[in-house]
Amino acid sequence: MTDKYDVIVIGAGPAGYHAAIRCAQLGLSTACIDKSLDGGGKPVLGGTCLNWGCIPSKALLDASHKFAEAQHGLAALGIRTGEVSIDLDVMMARKGEVVKGLTGGIAQLFQGNGVKALAGSGKLLAGRQVEFTPHDGAVQILQAGHVILAPGSVPVEIPPAPLTDDIIVDSKGALEFAAVPKRLGVIGAGVIGLELGSVWGRLGAEVVVLEALEEFLPMADERIARDALKILQGQGLDIRLGARVTGSEIRGKGAKRTVTVTYQDKSGEQHVEVDRLIVAVGRRPYTEGLLAPDCGVNLDERGFLYVNDLCATDAPHVYAVGDVVRGPMLAHKAMEEGVMVAERIAGKKPLVNYDTVPSVIYTHPEIAWVGRTEQQLKASGEPFNVGTFPFSVNGRALAAHDTQGLVKVLADAATDRILGVHILGAQASELIAQAVIAMEFDASAEDLGLTMFAHPTLSEALHEAALGVAGHAIHMVNRKKRK
Ligand code: FAD
Ligand code: NAD
């Protein structure tokens, strides 16, 4: 007999597990198929984000930041620490415990909500049938009323730097180094390169980041990117822009192996020798083995599953969400798409607002933004006003001895509607939520200016930047004409 479900979800990363839980909450019989295995070969839920992405990287970012603070940041506060050292085994084990706790939590949520977890591979066939190949056992054909595809993404590999053992690694390997490399190379000054470069740099590696583009973080606001570059370089990251990697060669044997990386810059061919190399040049949609030729789902020209604004594929009642579809490869975007599709299947009418997807880079200081950048607004010719406020004069930042960075608010010149908010600073990842809420409700800069913020908080910098749009931030001498 063919097992039947109202909804079958393929993939239990943030996109898939959110979709599955919401479907079950809405009374739909739901199964979620995932093929991931943990280091011990046991099925594990949570996808890239929980196992090899957001969560383990933040566990190491937070631990390494505390180490860096203990080494360099506490003396100014009158705290003497003596010699501080790391126990990498303990740090890694704690990271593993955090991951285990959260992935186990999803298993419990599935159980509690009545989602059937199926460990193995899923393949979409025609007519909303799904071929399920368990890790152990015979292939089964399942019938679904609706199918949600959420297979995620995998790292891009490049021919000049093929992954090799634990020497040339992708982001997953870089979360599992057994020792701190003395010299670490990173290809790509994108989000992963900066986050993992920061982790290992703080733990003691000499880090060289090779970035093909001349521009640093082109997706961020120019001013924020410029200031962030200076700060990160000041922390010791040797970020080389305009450096396109063209080759790599592993030399030596055993523990003495090193990698010579070849790259092209303005002056011609260059070489740098490192002990470990991280390849962080982007991710690609993962669709291997997912689709039968006659299933009716199409790919776009870049290999993503083709969907409309509501995440519907070309096959009726088949949806796709998360990294495998267009848009930023971010866990929160994946989650919102999963929930939207579940609710649409249940007859509700939610939308995902792609104009208010926040981006965060978890360096220190953090870099966070939502909406459009100043350079995008200039290019579009839309008139706008700008308010900025530096953390160097924010009371809470001074009290905490964490004053780097600024907040920048961009608002429409005619309507004062907030068009973008950009933050470089401690806890920017938390502060940006206030801007997202404001933009979600179409707030004006004046609305934020008229809102009361607790004192003393870092959030007051956002308040002041919003006031600054009209030229009347209180803690800054404004040269703009007052209104
Ligand atoms: P995934 O999380 O990739 O999950 C897909 C799941 O589907 C996987 O378990 C896979 O095994 C399974 N699967 C695939 N095909 C099949 C099949 N045919 N059958 C069965 N199962 C299948 N994003 C953020 O927003 N914030 C961060 O801080 C952040 N940090 C990151 C750090 C790193 C190092 C990396 C690599 C990524 C990070 N990301 C972050 C990105 C984030 O992890 C992804 O955007 C997110 O995981 C996408 O979710 P998803 O559900 O679409 O896919
Ligand atoms: P990315 O696209 O952010 O950066 C890749 C960089 O590599 C680019 O700047 C590119 O110019 C450079 N590059 C490509 N080929 C090169 C070469 N041959 N030589 C030198 N440089 C080269 O990709 P990523 O850092 O791998 O991250 C992948 C995805 O994961 C991102 O899209 C991001 O959305 C997601 N992610 C998010 C977070 C977060 O939200 N904090 C953290 C990690 C990853």
Say yes or no: 344 and 362 in one domain.
no
In a domain, 448, yes or no: yes
Query: Residue 63 has which token pair?
Result: 């631990």
In a domain, 428, yes or no: yes
Say yes or no: 78 and 151 in one domain.
yes
Report the alpha-carbon angle 139-338-348, nearest 5. Answer: 115
Q: For residue 290, what are the domain limits?
A: 3-155+284-352
Say yes or no: 59 and 124 in one domain.
yes
In a domain, 479, yes or no: no
Q: How high is the pLDDT of residue 481?
A: 56
Say yes or no: 320 and 391 in one domain.
no
Distance CA 51, CA 356 (A): 26
Say which ligand is closest to the CA of 218.
2
Say yes or no: 223 and 262 in one domain.
yes
Say yes or no: 123 and 234 in one domain.
no
In a domain, 481, yes or no: no
Nearest CA to ligand 2 atom 41: 361
CATH code: domain of residue 133: 3.50.50.60
Q: Which position among 455, 463, 472, 475 bears the catalytic label? A: 455
Q: How high is the pLDDT of residue 479?
A: 66
Q: Is 237 in the pocket of ligand 2 (CB under 6 A)?
A: no
In ligand 1, which atom is closest to the CA atom of 153?
Answer: 3
Longest dimension (CA), the chain: 76
Kindly state the DSSP code that residue 392 receives in the 8-state scheme.
G
When divided into structural domains, the chain yields a total of 3
Yes or no: say if 282 and 111 are a contact pair by the CB < 8 Å rule: no
Burial 19-30 (b: 16+ CB within 10 A, else e): bbbbbbbbebbb
Could you tell me the CA-to-CA distances from 356 to 54, 87, 170, 305, 430 in Å, in that order? 20, 40, 30, 22, 15
Say yes or no: 294 and 149 in one domain.
yes
Query: To which residue do tokens 């009158």 refer?
Result: 78
In a domain, 162, yes or no: no
In a domain, 461, yes or no: yes
Ligand 2: distance of its center to the CA of 96 in Å?
Answer: 24
Ligand 2: distance of its center to the CA of 425 in Å?
Answer: 21
Distance CA 215, CA 375 (A): 13
Say yes or no: 383 and 423 in one domain.
yes
Q: Which of helix, strand or coil describes residue 345?
A: helix
Say which ligand is closest to the CA of 134.
1
Say yes or no: 328 and 268 in one domain.
no
Say yes or no: 380 and 348 in one domain.
no
Told to judge if 455 belongs to the known catalytic residues of this protein, a careful annotator would answer yes
What are the DSSP calls for 224-253, one per residue? Answer: HHHHHHHHHHHTT-EEETT-EEEEEEEESS
| Amino acid letter, residue 306 | Y
In a domain, 385, yes or no: yes
Query: To which residue do tokens 């961009």 refer?
Result: 410
Say yes or no: 456 and 335 in one domain.
no
pLDDT in tens, the chain (483 residues): 689 999 999 999 999 999 999 999 999 999 999 999 999 999 999 999 999 999 999 999 999 999 999 998 999 999 999 999 999 999 999 999 999 999 999 999 999 999 999 999 999 999 999 999 999 889 999 999 999 999 999 999 999 999 999 999 999 999 999 999 999 999 999 999 999 999 999 999 999 999 999 999 999 999 999 999 999 999 999 999 999 999 999 999 988 999 999 999 999 999 999 999 999 999 999 999 999 999 999 999 999 999 999 999 999 999 999 999 999 999 999 999 999 999 999 999 999 999 999 999 999 999 999 999 999 999 999 999 999 999 999 999 999 999 999 999 999 999 999 999 999 999 999 999 999 999 999 999 999 999 999 999 999 999 999 999 999 999 988 766 555
Mutate to test the pocket of ligand 1, among 38, 45, 49 (most ligand atoms within 8 A of CB): 49
Residues paired with residue 10 on neighbouring β-strands, in sequence order: 33, 149
In a domain, 474, yes or no: no
